[in-house]
Amino acid sequence: MKDNTHPDYYETEVTCGGCNNSFMLKSTSEKLNVNVCYNCHPFYTGTQKHLDTAGRVDKFKQKYAKFMDKKDA
C-alpha cells in the first residue's frame, strides 16, 4: 500500500452563520462554517411550517375522490 494516501483528520470547530452556535466535530477540514445547524434549523426546532401551495392537496383530493370513495366502500 502507498504511504500518505489518507487526508489528515482534525478536531474541527463548526460555526453556524444563522445563530452563531459553535460545536466540535472530527473532519478533514480544520474549520467549517455552515448556514444552518441543529440549533436553528426549523425541522429540529419544531417551527417547520407545511404550506399548501396553490391548493395542490385539495386539487389532488378532488381529482382522485371518486377512486377513494370506491376503495372505502
Contact 22, 13 (CB under 8 A): yes
* pLDDT score for 42: 73
10-16 and 31-34 as β-strands: parallel, antiparallel, unpaired?
Answer: parallel
Contact 32, 17 (CB under 8 A): no
Is the pLDDT at 73 greater than 60? The verdict is no
* pLDDT score for 70: 61
Domain boundaries, the chain: 10-72
CA distance 24 to 10: 10
In CATH, which of 4.10.80.400, 3.40.50.300, 1.10.1740.10, 3.30.1280.10 is domain 10-72?
4.10.80.400
More confident residue, 19 or 51: 19
pLDDT digits (tens, 9 = 90+) for 31-65: 999 888 888 877 767 776 666 667 777 888 888 88
18-24 mean pLDDT: 89
